[in-house]
Amino acid sequence: MSLLRKLRRRANSKPREKRRLPRKSRSENASAEITIEIGLPSSKVAETVYRSLLPETKQPSGFRSRVSVKRRGRTLELQIFADDIVALRAASNTFLRFVTVAVKTLNVVAPFYRKPNAE
């Protein structure tokens, strides 16, 4: 069958009905949650990373995930709440990447802020 004939046949056929699944309200959606504890080299590094993450946790409503960050000594605790598993994975990847970037940046910048040894 030629391509032109196939296209004509499609154009003349009835459109397919799309089956729609009933939409669930936000409260009926399965929610997902994860807690991640990250040990850092020092409490000073933990405080710096903590303060760099805080602005990222302030999100207006309407997002599919929420994140809270806590610091205890040299440990950071990320609590991620999401409406679904896909949003949970995306948020956890994002915040783990933020932590990695902050620590790598500190490793590059820190030598410039160290006090020289008194001789």
DSSP the chain: --HHHHHHHHHHSPPPPPP-PPPPPTTTSPPEEEEEEEE-S-HHHHHHHHHHHHHHH---TT-SEEEEEEEETTEEEEEEEESSHHHHHHHHHHHHHHHHHHHHHHHHHGGGGSPPPP-
Say how far apart CA 43 and CA 21 lie, in whole Å.
50
Give residues with Cβ within 8 angstroms of 33, minimum separation 6: 79, 80, 81, 82, 88
Q: Which is higher by pLDDT, 115 or 42?
A: 42
> Does the pLDDT at position 25 exceed 90?
no
Q: What is the mean pLDDT of the chain?
A: 84
Residue 6 burial (10 A CB sphere; 0-12, 13-18, 19+): exposed
Q: What is the mean pLDDT of residues 18-46?
A: 76
The architecture of the domain spanning 30-109 is 2-Layer Sandwich (3.30)
Q: Which is higher by pLDDT, 59 or 107?
A: 107
pTM of the model: 0.68
Say how far apart CA 12 and CA 27 lie, in whole Å.
43
Residue spans per domain, the chain: 30-109
> Does the pLDDT at position 45 exceed 50?
yes
